[in-house]
Chains A and B, each alone.
Chain A
Amino acid sequence: MVDSKQQWKAWLYLAPAIVLLLIFTVWPIFNTVRMALLENYSGLKAAAGMQFELGFGNFVKVVQYKRFVQCLKNTCLLCVLTVPISTLLALLVAVALNSIKFLQKGLQTIFFLPYVTNSIAIGMVFAAMFNIVGSFYGTENELIVTAGIINNIIGFFGGKHINWINYGSSYEANMFVMVVYIVWNALPFKILVLLGGLQSINKQYYDAAKVDGTPRRRVFTHITVPLLSPMLAYVIITGFIGGFKEYTSIVGIFGENMGPPDDAGRLNTMVGFIYDALETNSQGRASAAALILFGIILVVTLINNQVSKKRVHY
C-alpha cells in the first residue's frame, strides 16, 4: 500500500487521464441519459432557460417515427448481410494469403489499402463505378449512356444496364451496392486479424494432419477454423458493432441525402437518424435514439458472446 501521505502523488499522476475521461467520456454518457429522460429536451430551449419534465416521452417518440423503423431495418439488414459475407471472404483470403510465399507481402499491402483510405473518398469512387449515366442526378428522360464501370462490364457481356444508385433505382439495387461497398471496406481489418491468427497457429498441427493423411478440406474445417475461432469471434463481434454504427458509407455513396435523388432518406441508418435529430435541435430525441442503439448493440454483443462461448474452442 502507498503511504497515505504519498497518495496525493498518485492522484496527481492519474489526474490528466481522469480529467480527460471525465470531460469527454463520463460526462457525455451521463448527459446523454439526462437529455434522453427530459421531455422534449432541446439545447436551444435549455439555453433560453426553459425547464423540462422527467419522462420517457423521447423514447416513445423515437419509436413512433416511421423513419426510425426504416433506419432500424436498414441497419439490421446491412449487419446481417455484410458481417457473414465479409467474415467468410476475409477467412478465405487470409488462408489463401497465408499459403503462398511469393508476393505475400505485396498482396498483403494491397488488401490493406482500403483500411487506410478515406471512406468518403472510397464511397465516391464506388458511386462513380456504379453510376448509370454521366450525371448523378439524371432523370428518366435523360439519355441512358452509362459511365459506370460496373454497368460497362455488364454491357460488355451483353447484360442489361442496371440502375444501381440513380434516380428511380430500386431499394434492392441500392442495398446491393451498399453491401458490396461495406464488405469491401471491412475486409482489410478482418484479413489482418485472421492472417495474424493463422500465422500464430503452430505448424506442427499441420504436419501432424499431414502424417495422418488429412484431406485439405478437413484440415480447413477441423483444424484451421477451430484454432482460429477466437479471432473469428473477435472479428464477428467487432463487425456487428461496426455494422450497427454504419453511417459514413451511406454518405460516401449517396451523399447527405441518404438515398437516391427521388427517395431521400431511404437508406438512412440509426446513426443517421441520430444526426438528423441533432440537426433539428432535438437533443432529447437524439439521446433517446443513441441509448436505444446502445441497447441493441449490447444485446447483440451479449448474444455473440454467449454463442462464441459454445463455439470458440479453448
Chain B
Amino acid sequence: MKVSVGLGSCGIAAGALEVWDAVQKVVNKDGANIEIAVTGCIGMCHLEPLLDVIENDGHVFTYGQVTGEKVTEILSSHLAGQGPIREYIVSSSEMSNDFLKQQVRVALRNCGRINPESLDDYQAQGGYKALEKAMKEMTPEEVISELKGSGLRGRGGAGFPTWFKWNATREAPSNEKYIVCNADEGDPGAFMDRSVLESDPHSVLEGMAIAGYVIGSNTGVIYCRAEYPLAIKRLEIAIKQAKEKGLLGNNILESDFCFDIYIKQGAGAFVCGEETALIASLEGERGMPRLKPPFPAQKGYWNHPTNINNVETLANIPWIISNGGQAFAAMGTEESKGTKVFALAGKIKHGGLVEVPMGKTLREVIFSIGGGIKNDRKFKAVQMGGPSGGCIPEELLDIPIEYQSIKDTGAIMGSGGMIVVDDTTCMVDMARFFLDFTQKESCGKCVQCRIGTKRMLEILERICQGDGREGDIELLEELAVEIKEGSLCGLGQSAPNPVLTTIRYFRSEYEAHIKDKKCPALQCKNLITYNIDAEKCKGCGLCAKKCPVQCIAGERREPHVIDQDKCIKCGTCYEACPTKFAAVKVD
C-alpha cells in the first residue's frame, strides 16, 4: 500500500504537514507496510489537505479535508482490509468527481500524481523522452514545425504564438542566446505557475532544454518570484537531479549539446512580468520596460537573443513533442488550440486549478466544474485576466473560452485567473481595487500610466466614498483612452480595462453611487450603516460579544445600540445576529 500527501503551498497552508506527521506516526508505531510519498497539488484546493491511498491492486482513493485523527481512522481501515472509508472519499480511480472528470490535463498532467522531488517518478511518466526524441529524431526545424502545427500560444497573458518566438530567436544571429522562463506570476488570484513549479518542476526544465536545443542556447534562466520559496526549492532539487543524470549540464544524453539552468529570484514587482522589464531585473536593475523593437528575440538578456516563455507554456512543450502537434491542435477551437489552466477563486464553491480544452463555456467551468457560487448566492461577474483584464457579466457566460471571444468582452485570457464574484461584491469597488494595484505597481516611466492611474484611482475612491460627481464616469473613460495610448508596456495599456468593463456592464452601479449615494451591493462603507432594530433586538448580546472593536453596548435582554463613530462596518454583528431575530439592519 502506498500513501501520498499533497504538499503544495496551499495544502501546507490548510494543514497538510500535520497530516504528513500523522501518517508517519502510523507507519512508525505499527511498523505498517506503507510506502509514503510527497506529491504536489492536484488542483482541488477547496478540499485540502488531500491524501491518496494507493492499494496494492492499483486502486487509488483520494481523501479530502483530512485531519490527523482521520488519518489514523483511514489507514487502519485500509490496513485491516476493511476497504476505504466512503464518507471521506472525494474521488477515486473508479469514480472521479465532477471537478476532475471534466478536465483534460496536459500542462498539469503530472501535478498531484507524482513526487515532485523524484526524477524517477517523472521519468516513469515518460519524462525527458520528449527531449530525447527532439534531440535524436528531429531537427530543430522539425520541432518548430511541430509547435506551429500544435497552435500553442503563450500562456502568460499576451497569447503570442510560441513557434514564432522560438523561430525568431533561432534565426537571430549570435553565438550566445538565452532561454528565460518567466515564473514571475504576479497576477493576484492566479496560481497555476506556482502549482506547476511545485508539483512538476521537471516538465518546465525539459521544456526549457528542448527550447535550448532548438534555438541554439546553452543557458536557461528561471526568473521566479521570491514569494514562492517552495517552488524555488523544488526547482533547485530538480536541476541538481537532472544534472546528475546527464539530462542537463554538459553533453546532454551523450551528445555535444550543453544546457545549464539557473534560478534568479524576483524581488516583488508586478511589472517584471513584462518581457523587457524582466530582462532589466535579471540584469540587476530597476525593472522598467523599454521600447520594442528590438524584441528580446533580437536583443534581450545582456543584448543577446533571448526567448522568454511562461511556465505553463513550457510545461506543454514536452507533451506536444511526445504526442505530436496535431494531438494538441485536436483539442480546443479553430482559433485557440489545446488546453488552458484556470485558477478558480473568489465566491466559488469548488475553488482550485482546472485545465480544460479551449472552447468550453465560462458557465461550464464556473458552474459544472466549480460547482457554482458559494452559499448559493447569485452570480454577478467573473473577473478574468487580473489587473489587465475585466469583469464579464452573467449574460455573457455562454461564450466559449477563446482568446478572441474573451477579448471581445473587454477582458483578456491573461494567465488564466478567474475570480468569481456574487451579488455582495460592489463593482465600483472592484475597479477601485485593481486601479489601486496598478497604480502602485506602475514603474513610473510613462507619464500617462504613472499619473493617469493615480487620477483614475482618486476618482474611483471618491465615488466609493460617496463623493462622486456628475461627469465622473465620462472622465474615467477619457482618462482610460489616454492611458492606453500613452503607455509603453502592457501594464499601462491594459490598466484601465477593469474600469472600462465595469462601466460597460455595470454602469447602473456607478450611477447609484454617484447620484443616489447608495452602494447596491452594500459594500462601500461610507454609503452604508449598520443599525440594530430596537423592536426586534432581544438583547442576547451575541453581536456585542463578537464585535471586534467593542462598539456595541446594551444591558442583557435590552435592545443593544451600535456606536456609529467606532463602527468599522465589518458586518460581524450582522452575521452574529440569530436569524430568528434578524435585528441588525444594513442599508
The answer to whether A and B come from one shared complex is no
By a beta-carbon cutoff of 8 Å, the part of chain A in contact with chain B is: none
By a beta-carbon cutoff of 8 Å, the part of chain B in contact with chain A is: none
